[in-house]
Structure 1
Amino acid sequence: MDVHTFTYEELYRGGTPMGRNMPWDLRAPQPAVVALADAGAFTGEVLDVGCGLGDNSAFLASRGLHVTGLDIAPSAVELARDRAPGVTFAVADATKLEGYEGRFDTVLDSTLYHCLTEDQRREYLAALTRATRPGTRLHLFAFSSELPASFPAPYSISEANLRETVGRDWTIEKLEPTVYTTSMTPEELRQIARALLDEEPADLASLATDADGRVLVPVWYLTAVRR
């Protein structure tokens, strides 16, 4: 069984071995996003692209920002609207972003980039360039190539890939390794990996956990400014 065979609509409807508990659904904002907000990283019109269930969008809106959360899965957008009725959510294809030209001042990509194929990544960055203004700041988190081989992820991303793809129209100011908080305990992660791989995922023991026992995964954090 391959994680690539599932659509995100299937994931949010619970039609996969993950069930209805998404590994990224903390029912709270991602701690890495909270840290960025505390540092004043978000200004103006904010795009939360690949917003999922909308907790990051709702958090940023609670800080007084005007936020638009976009996701390709209608079920995710419906659930996000239920969780945060005062926030703007819509269904959209991140590789096109039609109807959003020249609109945003800050973009949050909280682990969307690594869900796309190489061709889709190029289309996505071109769409982001069209949807933003010169000087817009991008904050991007993507699974890194330090992920264990058996971790159930669409793709892992190299530093070179980010520099080449994002660097085409954006000036990269920071690109560094960090960790990203999941909703999974180590045992929950092993159960998902076993269901997908049909074998015991021994290499997952290398992943750290936070104080609440949630698995932390290695990611890149990139910030860049649109030229």
Structure 2
Amino acid sequence: MNDVVPQQPPPPSPADFDALYRGDFDALGSNPQPSEAAPLPIRFDRVPWDIGEAQPVVRDLEADGQITSEVLDIGCGPGENALYLAERGYRVCGLDAAPTAVDIARERARNRGLEEAVEFAVADATDLSGYVGRFTTVLDSALYHCFAEDQRPRYVAALYGACAPNARLHVVCFSDLVPERFPGPFRISEDNLRGTLADAGWVVRRIERTTYTTAITRGDLQTPTYAPLSEIVAGLDFDGQDRMLAPAWLATAERP
């Protein structure tokens, strides 16, 4: 008898993310995340990556002179990274497949008087034919790891096509140090990240370990909602605001 190989659930879809941004947390919970382990019984009560400000790694990249206009924030979500860069004078375009995320980002831009400084639009990240050769910097803050293995080459090729020569790409994605039962998308190995980028024509300049700041706090883990996570994340770090830090890669690559 042939052994039956268990199939992973599909990666989250734009509809799943849109439900999350609408606050329909039950809809997201009904779709298991890609993992061979049994799913945790967690019902999110917030968007777990919306920390209400730019990711610290993005602020560090900007401070280090690694950002130049014109910037694409791909998978921009509610827009905090894009708004942070727009406030500092960069021309920024934020794209996301979830219409509700784009609506939230536009509202935050209006509330901060930045509606003329940043553009937000709904788009498929694997088809950027409307943006050919436009960008000099691309920021992927936690999108790469949402794609299944067979989707990633098309995605990074689309980014390549949307960039001008000598453009720079920064990818922040969950690493293979993320605990297996941590709810979320795929864990990414360094070899996978490096190989997928190189195969699409990107010249990889560096890949280093970093962390991705979540909206889940140490205090949350003491509540019934998030208690199932406590043992799983026992080895993870927290920042000065007690926000949980997920192990991640920071990859920087250039388009020749």
Tell whether 2:248 aligns with 1:222. Answer: no
Q: Which amino acid aligns with 1:152?
A: P
> Does the residue aligned with 1:216 lie in a helix, a strand or coil?
strand
Tell whether 2:47 aligns with 1:18. Answer: no
Residue-by-residue CA offset, 1:11-62 (whole Å, 9 max, x unaligned): 111222223x211111111111011111111112100000000010000001
Residues in 1 aligned to 2:225 and 2:123: alpha-carbon distance in whole angstroms: 28
Tell whether 2:205 aligns with 1:176. Answer: no
Partner of 1:8: 17
Would the alpha carbon gap of residues 114 and 84 (structure 1) be closer, same or farther in structure 2, given more than 3 Å must change? same
Residues in 2 aligned to 1:185 and 1:56: alpha-carbon distance in whole angstroms: 20
How many corresponding residue pairs? 221
Residue-by-residue CA offset, 1:95-138 (whole Å, 9 max, x unaligned): 11131111100000001000111121111011111111121100
Partner of 1:145: 176
Partner of 2:240: 211
TM-score by length of 2: 0.81
Would the alpha carbon gap of residues 36 and 149 (structure 1) be closer, same or farther in structure 2, given more than 3 Å must change? same
CA contact (8 A) 1:170 1:224 kept: yes
> Does the residue aligned with 1:123 lie in a helix, a strand or coil?
helix
Identity percentage of aligned residues: 48
Residues in 2 aligned to 1:127 and 1:26: alpha-carbon distance in whole angstroms: 28
Tell whether 2:70 aligns with 1:38. Answer: no
CA contact (8 A) 2:168 2:254 kept: yes
Residue-by-residue CA offset, 1:83-102 (whole Å, 9 max, x unaligned): 01322100001011131111
Partner of 1:163: 194
> Does the residue aligned with 1:79 lie in a helix, a strand or coil?
helix
1:186 to 218, 228, 243: 218
CA apart distance, 1:186: 3.3
Would the alpha carbon gap of residues 150 and 188 (structure 1) be closer, same or farther in structure 2, given more than 3 Å must change? farther
CA apart distance, 1:163: 1.1
Partner of 2:129: 98
Q: Which amino acid aligns with 1:13?
A: R
Residues in 2 aligned to 1:189 and 1:97: alpha-carbon distance in whole angstroms: 39
Q: Which amino acid aligns with 2:24?
A: G
Q: Which amino acid aligns with 1:14?
A: G
Partner of 1:80: 105
Structure with the greater alpha carbon radius of gyration: 2
Q: Which amino acid aligns with 2:71?
A: V
Would the alpha carbon gap of residues 124 and 202 (structure 1) be closer, same or farther in structure 2, given more than 3 Å must change? same
**Structure number with higher helix proportion:** 1
Would the alpha carbon gap of residues 200 and 162 (structure 1) be closer, same or farther in structure 2, given more than 3 Å must change? closer
CA apart distance, 1:5: 5.7
Partner of 2:54: 29
Q: Which amino acid aligns with 2:252?
A: T
Tell whether 2:157 aligns with 1:126. Answer: yes
Q: Answer with 115-124 or 50-59: which moved more.
A: 115-124
Q: Which amino acid aligns with 1:214?
A: R
CA contact (8 A) 2:11 2:147 kept: no
Unmatched segments (≥5 aa) in structure 1: none
Residues in 2 aligned to 1:80 and 1:189: alpha-carbon distance in whole angstroms: 28
